[in-house]
Amino acid sequence: MNTKIVVAGPRGKMGAEAIKMITNEPDFQLVACIDRKTAENGVDAHSHLNVPSFEDAEECFTEIETDIFVDLTVPDVGYVHTKAALEQNIRPVIGTTGFTDEQLNELSTLAWEKKIGCIIAPNFAIGAVLMMKFSKMAAKYFSDVDIIEKHHDNKLDAPSGSAIKTAELIKDRRTSKKQGHPNEKEVLPGARGADFDGMKIHSVRLPGLVAHQEVLFGSPGQTLSIKHDSYNRDSFMEGIKLSIKEVQNLEELVYGLENIL
């Protein structure tokens, strides 16, 4: 039996790749898409997909028999979509980052009450998840760390969800400390990056980049660099495919792909 999937954000680069992956996977079936703009100049913008398109998520979930909802949009819209999916007993796989802690807590509570699996992943690239896990291991031995994340210039949130997730994992293992000279002064505000529990996060946004992150650890006489690069969006598809399969076995919200590997 095919897994019936709805995708939100089909016109985006990630959404287009996800639809291509779903279409090529024999056990998956694309049944609809959700987009704020279903028509252009009076013409269906998604007619080539041969599935219905909706501007309203609740309408889609009510009318279309769906097993899995994949969201690759933006935080505010993604939150509304995810909540609507859970309320309709549809299992979400979310690649949208930038949710607030309050939103994550609300979605987690809803998934737990309904006993429905939900996966929210800051990064679907397997290599990026391993980078985070290795960084958490290293943090036990290196308390000084900077995170440098680089993305395309159309990314809306900074720091990236991956960088914040990495910092959270490091915080769990790292001895908390404020880095740098106690009397250091930023001649230009923001020069030292965002502060997260004393460690620094730096965001780069440039055309030509896709998704890149380096975690730099330092201690007397040595440094350690853990780096991952996604050169195209194919790198995220194995993680989305895995999440679509694994979310069907869950009865709660899982945040981070590392928790299902």
Binding residues: 9-14, 37, 95-97, 121-124, 152, 161-162
Among 114, 133, 155, 171, the active-site one is: 155
Annotated binding site for NAD(+): 9-14, 95-97, 121-124
48 flagged as catalytic: no
**Active-site entry in 46, 151, 165, 200:** 151
Return binding residues for (S)-2,3,4,5-tetrahydrodipicolinate: 152, 161-162
SS (H, E, C) the chain: CCEEEEEECCCCHHHHHHHHHHHHCCCEEEEEEECCCCEECCEECCHHHCCCEECCHHHHHHHCCCCEEEECCCHHHHHHHHHHHHHCCCEEEECCCCCCHHHHHHHHHHHHHHCCCEEECCCCCHHHHHHHHHHHHHHCCCCEEEEEEEECCCCCCCCCHHHHHHHHHHHHHCCCCCCCCCCCCCCCCCCCCEEECCEEEEEEECCCCCEEEEEEEEECCEEEEEEEEECCHHHHHHHHHHHHHHHHHCCCEEECHHHCC
**Catalytic annotation, residues:** 151, 155
